[in-house]
A and B are shown apart, each in its own frame.
Chain A
């Protein structure tokens, strides 16, 4: 029991849970809670994306596209067609999963910049469609989304949303850290280490990459649906290229191949623009600068770099 409790995997998860549960009681007001909810949502996406980027070593510059599919599916199906919210969410997730599964095999054969280009194209196409199909999506102005309701129960208020987002994140983190230690996770890491060697050892590399891509797309879609219900409004920019870049940045900044790194990266990069908004016009300038400096001085990401520092200190 003790060993189980102090293992980095489970212990880290418990520390994370305790911190997250305590957080709403120390936050001074609803504004901070709002930022915290967005951070939790982004963290869920990044944990999934980290499977693909950190573990399998494949980049995706189009994940906001899947988020957009989920968000618009929820918005249109509940708003225009009157579907129940969970069904709309499931439909969006299924659509994202199917699309990801269908394109994954030809796309993930590509490497490096070619893969970056292909995934980028996929995401940009989704946002262009959202921009153009005005009658369905409201075009560039975006569209309002109904509040999340299920069997007569409506999720309302920051507190309720915080717990919902936290449950979602805890579930994704728990699922992911177990996935990473399963044969699937070892397969993914083998793909990252050397695809040729992995294949020579009998690892079906294509299959593992397709799984990572599809799983991360479904995560993004579910978060997209919930996030749209929470914010109550979506625009094509939510599915755009810059948003995809933000998610990749969160993963890389937090630390690749570290599930908690992805969480930390998401929290930092969600909170930072809010703090920087007091700089007003200088916001982008400072944000770009921080991004560059972090990658120059902590190229492995915040969490792995700090962990290495900590370990070196402790060693005699």
Chain B
């Protein structure tokens, strides 16, 4: 019983860490410009698929990963510059449709340029399970959790202690005032899309050795990341992290103890209940969200 519980907990934390990364991507863009980027899941897919493609060209894994992350970041920057920037004053619904259009476009592009097959990536450091308190953990899980922790630490340092990070927060608080203080708001937007694409791609690369990658992998992961962000609330960066981990663990417990067929439904049932009874998320408080 205890071992079983530990096993579910550890696998939940692994998956939850990827949800947290995707959720953080939603949070960064939402903070910088109030947009929910429905193409976030496609960055996850781009990260995994591009790595698989570069590996297929015979590159070593670290090089392939670096190039794949670069591809995703470029995609994020182009998305901001070509599609979001021209409609900055559009309504929320318009922006939602644009990012959805972008996600369909990215999926279509990958399907044409690469393929529609499943690609498993090799685990970063072997397939030999490590025993922790009787529960078996794949080394890749440690990579996922460790890298997520490193990213969260990096983000915290960036937003709390760097000038650029403070500029993003200032732009989020008040766009006009930030501009009056000499902050280049356009640069802040570009930066936020680039960072968010990077986070998504990192999640995609980390999870691909565990659950393989293919051109539609981003839909569900994107939705789960959105769940994570909404569950924790978008008021602070800790929201998506807590939301993602909670979501991952509850999902693993639900699949383990209740019904594994309904694993994917767990996230959405939780989010519905939370939104009905705690409409501002687990960590949320303060003003209501904006209207459509």
Seen from chain A, the residues whose Cβ lies within 8 Å of a Cβ on chain B are 53, 57-59, 103, 106-107, 109-118, 120-122, 124-125, 128-129, 132, 195, 241-242, 245, 248-249, 252-253, 256, 281-292, 295-296, 299
Contacts and interface: CB of A to CB of B under 8 A. Distances in A.
Interface of B: 30, 36, 83, 86-87, 90-94, 96-98, 100-109, 111-112, 219, 223, 226-227, 230, 234, 261-262, 264-265, 268-269, 271-272, 275-277, 279, 288-292
A287 to B, nearest CB: 6
Contacts of A253: 97
A117 B73 CA distance: 26
A292 B291 CA distance: 22
A241 B221 CA distance: 13
B107 A296 contact: no
Given A125-B268, A288-B101, A292-B102, A113 B289 contact: yes
Nearest to A289: B105
Given A125-B269, A288-B102, A111 B227 contact: no
B92 A112 contact: yes
A292 B87 CA distance: 10
B291 A111 contact: yes
A120 B220 CA distance: 12
Contact of B230 (A106, A114, A125): A114
15 contacts: A58-B292, A59-B92, A59-B93, A107-B276, A111-B290, A113-B36, A118-B276, A128-B262, A256-B93, A283-B108, A284-B108, A285-B105, A285-B112, A295-B97, A299-B90
- Pick from A53, A57, A107, A113 the residue with the most CB of B within 10 Å: A113
Contact of A114 (B103, B108, B289): B289
A252 B94 contact: yes
Nearest to A57: B292
Given A107-B275, A121-B271, A292-B83, A132 B291 contact: no
B59 to A, nearest CB: 26
Contact of A281 (B94, B105, B112): B112
A281 B113 CA distance: 10
Contacts of B102: 288, 292
B92 to A, nearest CB: 6
A285 B109 contact: yes
Nearest to A291: B101
B281 to A, nearest CB: 8
A281 B111 contact: yes
A288 B87 contact: no
Contacts of A116: 36, 96, 292
A121 B292 contact: no
Given A288-B101, A295-B94, A112 B291 contact: yes
Contacts of B279: 109-110, 114
Given A113-B36, A114-B289, A59 B96 contact: yes
A112 B291 CA distance: 4
Contacts of B87: 295-296, 299
B98 A111 contact: no
Contacts of B277: 106
Contact of B106 (A106, A286, A288): A288
What are the 4 closest A-B residue pairs judged by CB atoms, nearest first? A288-B105, A284-B108, A285-B108, A291-B101
Given A113-B230, A291-B101, 15 more contacts: A53-B292, A57-B292, A116-B36, A117-B275, A121-B269, A121-B272, A128-B265, A283-B108, A284-B104, A285-B109, A288-B101, A288-B106, A292-B98, A296-B86, A299-B94
A204 to B, nearest CB: 18
B275 A118 contact: yes
A234 to B, nearest CB: 19
A117 B97 contact: no
Given A122-B272, A285-B112, A111 B36 contact: no
Given A106-B276, A249-B97, A295 B90 contact: yes
Contacts of B262: 128, 132
A125 B265 contact: yes
B291 A57 contact: yes
